[in-house]
Structure 1
């Protein structure tokens, strides 16, 4: 290759064309992200899971709660007895271009003849709902508590942090189990008045998810409170905060306009990394029978239901 051709190839290179133009930090981050094939694959997988949860009726052929005792314990891709008229009555894909999917159970069926594929897809919706809502509750409580503690300083900060330290010494899982047992006991007693009556109504309308939201989100804010306090302490002595005080800005204005916009970014990243833990905890509660109410599907409950089959 002649020197002229080599020079032309270098000048036509996309990266060299961008050289000197300058890229924003976001463009640099996106460029590095695209180079990480594992990260790209992970994002694609997460997007597919989220889409499956959002459009669960599209991806699930059957009603997740419909029982078909004549075809219980069916194996994967095993057909069922047409004489039960199961397809005509319960298949979402019946008389559609996907009608072929109504003659088999993709992932088999459980002891009650319910389609495991449909229950798994709807269980994805339950798990993601718990993860996102619990993370939001934890973020809000921890952010408010930690911001007040860090901004107030002095004795107020010391007392609030000692409360957090004390709660850190209490085992969280037994507390969550006791709270869940209490809420379920109140629901079985049929309390219909007052605040508890409202909570029970909300819990029934969500298939048992509301009490899980409360139990997990209301107890996992401790780490978020510490992180928020640390962020506030690192920012509250900055020059722009001192300048806001110098022009007479009130504390509430400083927190809303100057502290929170700078603090919230790292906290969102930290809380997003905690979502898998919330999903795992919900599955654990459902596995031991303290999760969502039947017939609402949950991954933990499905593992519990299939465990006897594995043993046998």
Structure 2
């Protein structure tokens, strides 16, 4: 009887969309695995200066490249630098690029898509045609030109990658706003004379958070891959700073002699990308109300 009573009490109390989504997300083991891995990586990145076994720029040229040992769990590179330390510090840069560049892309994309979807008509047509034109441009060449003309620094890398990853978010946000614009709560807000900016900020964007969150988790791995590719080409992070992409680049040059220099940073990047994709897929399913009813 107590179980029945508690069930009835839960049903009467009701649950929100986010509570239901959290329950469905916890049932997805791969999504939970991805969430745990990402939380662990973020904590490790924040604590790297205190938990790294060596200084990130400490070298021992006499030691050189050595395989994993008790003193160096993941071995050392050709300069005698501890690989575990390099991977920890590289993870800070790679994760920072992923999160910050994605935040830039979301800021631009959400704003652009919300304005286009709410305005409609000619404004929407002009804004979205501009998005179509930008889609046709070779963005890799655009980023390379930025890095060559303005120099290679982390801040520019954040802005350059974020500036080319917002187009899909703009389209997603426009579609969400167009569907929400006909809802009663938006019409009520218009009828009482709320400013357009307030309607977009307080009513439209919060109700489109589900797709925004899902797209965010799927954009971060894309951004990290792009940073790794740029670093592999020598156009991304520059020494003495390091990133997983830069470590993979160095490892690829010496993979026949010192395979651990490629295996360990490659495994760290692969694990992160898989975890983010698992989490993104899990969030997509958890926030899909129509799928939850099936």
TM class, shorter-chain normalised?
A: 0.7 to 0.9
Q: 1:236-255 maps to which residues of 2 (within 5 A)?
A: 236-255=181-200
User: 2:96 is matched with which residue: 129, 132, 135?
Assistant: 129
SS of corresponding position for 2:8? coil
Name stretches of at least 5 consecutive residues in structure 1 with no aligned partner: 1-10, 79-103, 188-207
Q: CA–CA distance in 2 between the matches of 1:125 and 1:140? A: 22
The alpha carbon displacement at 1:18 in A equals 3.6
User: 2:206 is matched with which residue: 257, 261, 266?
Assistant: 261
The alpha carbon displacement at 1:17 in A equals 5.6
User: 1:24 is matched with which residue: 3, 6, 15?
Assistant: 15
TM-score norm. by structure 1 comes to 0.75
Change (3 A) 1:28 1:246: closer
1:64 paired to 2:52: no
Change (3 A) 1:27 1:53: same
1:33 equivalent in structure 2:
25
1:228 paired to 2:220: no
Query: Which of these two proteins has the greater Rg computed from alpha carbons?
Result: 1
Change (3 A) 1:36 1:221: closer
Q: CA–CA distance in 2 between the matches of 1:271 and 1:125? A: 18
Q: CA–CA distance in 1 between the matches of 2:19 and 2:130? A: 43
2:291 equivalent in structure 1:
none
For each residue in 1:87-113, what CA deviation from the matched residue of structure 2 results, as whole angstroms up to 9, or x when unmatched?
A: xxxxxxxxxxxxxxxxx1111111111
The one of the two structures with greater contact order (alpha-carbon pairs below 8 A, sep at least 6) is 2
The alpha carbon displacement at 1:126 in A equals 0.6
Q: CA–CA distance in 2 between the matches of 1:27 and 1:241? A: 24
Q: CA–CA distance in 1 between the matches of 2:123 and 2:168? A: 18
TM-score norm. by structure 2 comes to 0.80
Q: 1:1-312 maps to which residues of 2 (within 5 A)?
A: 11=1, 16=4, 18-21=6-9, 22=11, 23-25=14-16, 26-77=18-69, 104-184=71-151, 208-312=153-257
Q: CA–CA distance in 2 between the matches of 1:149 and 1:245? A: 17
Contact 1:59-1:121 at 8 Å conserved across structures: no
For each residue in 1:110-161, what CA deviation from the matched residue of structure 2 results, as whole angstroms up to 9, or x when unmatched?
A: 1111111101001111111001101100000111111221122111111111
Contact 1:149-1:160 at 8 Å conserved across structures: yes
Q: CA–CA distance in 2 between the matches of 1:146 and 1:28? A: 27
The alpha carbon displacement at 1:55 in A equals 0.5
Q: Which 10-residue stretch deviates more, 284-293 or 261-270?
A: 261-270
Q: CA–CA distance in 2 between the matches of 1:165 and 1:37? A: 38
Q: CA–CA distance in 2 between the matches of 1:251 and 1:45? A: 40
Q: CA–CA distance in 1 between the matches of 2:34 and 2:216? A: 18
Q: CA RMSD in A?
A: 1.9
Q: Which 10-residue stretch deviates more, 164-173 or 113-122?
A: 164-173
For each residue in 1:241-273, what CA deviation from the matched residue of structure 2 results, as whole angstroms up to 9, or x when unmatched?
A: 222222222322322232222234421321222
The alpha carbon displacement at 1:27 in A equals 4.2
Across the two proteins, how many residue pairs are aligned to each other?
A: 253
Change (3 A) 1:257 1:303: closer
The alpha carbon displacement at 1:302 in A equals 0.9
Change (3 A) 1:150 1:37: closer
Q: CA–CA distance in 1 between the matches of 2:195 and 2:20? A: 38
Change (3 A) 1:144 1:40: closer
Q: CA–CA distance in 1 between the matches of 2:106 and 2:100? A: 10
